[in-house]
Chain A
Amino acid sequence: MAGRTLPRLEAAGLDGWLVRLFEAIDEANLPWLTALVRDCETAFGEALVDLVPSYTTLLVVFDPLALTPAEARQRLSAVLASLTPHDDADREAPLRELPTWYDERMGPELPRLAERAGMSVADIVACHAGATYRVYALGFAPGFAFMGSVAECLECPRLETPRKKVPAGSVGIAGRQTAAYPAVSPGGWNLIGRTSARLFDRDREGFGLLALGDRVRFVAVTRDEFERLGGDPRPMEAGR
């Protein structure tokens, strides 16, 4: 891939173009990606079917009865020619707080992370809850937000054997990313706690709590606060 110029438009079937803006994951990509999302909404209007932003790219899906790929490409070229980063994106990005009960019953990998880092569990918690993260992408499941980047001392590869059932709200780490599971699902992330926040709610306007570019803080709360906020304190099922 190296040597090819960016941004570039890559064919994605008869109804899509993948806009490749960057080669590497970087927080500095976000103002460009959020600006591109906004400009594509305007440029395509009714002919827009879906937008799928991710770390370095945006997949634009259009109505193939309204536009040909060539026509869609022209619109995208025009958008890219005048694209300016969403300068206020960092400042304006909503700050979302996720109340999180860090506890070994909720987050069985807390000791693993502490051992790897040569730190106490309390320090691991302070480190995770002490930073502000950005949402780089959503995917895997409705409302599942990939956030980064955690401090180097928290970096930890995925579990070798994924769990069959990770409880809703579980907060985890994989590599240098962190996330919270919106619903019960299989998963291989290292679990360190559980949030009471409802990350995806079909009855809420907008459905998801987190969007691309949002700033996120995990706020350490006690078990009592966690339960008062509606968190489910039931421990993980034995045998994963």
Chain B
Amino acid sequence: MSDSVTGLRVVRAGPLGLLQDAGRFGVRRLGVTQGGPVDLHAWAWANRLAGNAWGAAALEVTLGGLTLEAERDLTLAVCGADLGATLDDAPLACWRRFSMRSGQILRFAQPISGLRAYLAVAGGFRAAPVLGSISAVSREGLGGHDGRGRPLAAEDLLAVAPEAGQGSGAAEVPGEHRPDYEAVPRLALMPGAQIADFEGASLFAAFNRRWTVDDRADRMGVRLTGPRLHCRLTSMISEGLGLGAVQVPPDGQPIALLNDRQTIGGYPRLGALTPLACARLAQCLPGREVRLTAVSAERALDEYRRFRRLFA
């Protein structure tokens, strides 16, 4: 692309590095999924520190294992999980803006707290949008730095805006907006239309018992294990699925559907996690405990609008 220059080179690729803008919209009727950052909160703050408008593409780094070399002087920010990041082997604080000089090495090691870190660069990462979005969805082969949805691989180059700027505003995220990923999250769930079809004891269990994040967890969805939930409906005709929908297959173990979910599905649903509850869940490693708590759509909307005003 003519309006971009190489910003970073991948020295070593970790398990999963994907460019994510706000997501791919208007094409779900074709069976194309939403994509976008699974932790909207950390992604939005990384872009904000880098001085970018809402929706700029940032790099989602899952688990770590990624080494990047600056090909030019850059202004960046990292938010989300503490993946033991270092800059030329010196510890790099999370939730902060920082500078990289050409030739410096940024390394993400392994999860210390949380699961996914977001790296934003002033001016945003550049790539050709596919179906209107840069978001990488590997399963669909769409988007990302190569347009084919592939995760980062060694020697890949990440393009940035030529006039990158220095970022603007505060250089770090205020403490009250930094989640404690070690605390047990209470995930807000808006009850859905089939809630009354679940047995009373199952509903009590859903909102009062501990849930454990299963190792079957990815950008499509996160399976929770715990008490078996019983629903009078076992399957339904497939219908559209929103972000955060919590479906309960016949085995009674709920699955919270995230950004890369299938567009339609036929299991009964408890309801939907709020966007910020999805973001928090996306930072939970397998084995972590979570709780579910019911919230009205009105309250969830208030919370979401307050969140978005921070980035207006």
Contacts and interface: CB of A to CB of B under 8 A. Distances in A.
27 contacts: A10-B192, A13-B242, A13-B245, A13-B272, A13-B274, A14-B274, A14-B275, A50-B27, A50-B29, A51-B29, A53-B240, A54-B237, A54-B240, A54-B264, A55-B237, A55-B239, A65-B308, A139-B264, A140-B31, A141-B139, A142-B27, A143-B30, A145-B31, A146-B238, A202-B142, A207-B32, A211-B29
A207 B27 contact: yes
Contact of B29 (A200, A202, A212): A212
A114 interface: no
Interface stretch (B9-17, B40-48, B179-187, B298-306): B298-306
Chain B residues touching A, majority SS? mixed
Interface in A64-84: 64-65, 68-69
> What are the 6 A-B residue pairs with the smallest beta carbon separation, nearest first?
A59-B240, A52-B240, A10-B193, A139-B264, A13-B272, A57-B239
A145 B30 CA distance: 8
Contacts of A207: 27, 30, 32, 131
Contacts of B131: 202, 207
Contact of B237 (A25, A68, A138, A212): A25
Nearest to A24: B237
A12 to B, nearest CB: 5
B31 A202 contact: no
B162 interface: no
A121 B11 CA distance: 55
Nearest to B295: A14
A49 B141 contact: no
Contacts of B263: 52, 138-140
Given A14-B301, A25-B237, A52-B263, A138 B29 contact: yes
A16 B131 CA distance: 22
A208 interface: yes
Interface string B210-247: 00000000000000000000000100011111111100
In the complex, which range does the number of interface residues on chain A fall in?
35 or more
A64 B308 CA distance: 10
A141 B142 contact: no
Given A65-B305, A139-B264, A56 B29 contact: no
A102 interface: no
A58 B240 contact: yes
Contacts of B114: none
Interface of A: 1, 10-16, 18, 20, 24-25, 37, 49-59, 61, 64-65, 68-69, 137-146, 183, 200, 202, 207-208, 211-212
A90 to B, nearest CB: 20
A13 to B, nearest CB: 4
Contact of B193 (A11, A146, A202): A11
A64 B275 CA distance: 11
B31, B141, B275, B304 interface centre (most CB from chain A within 10 Å): B31
B297 A69 contact: yes
Given A14-B301, A64-B304, A50 B237 contact: no
Contact of B262 (A53, A64, A69, A139): A139
Nearest to B303: A14
Contacts of B197: 1
Contact of A141 (B140, B190, B244): B140
A58 B192 CA distance: 15
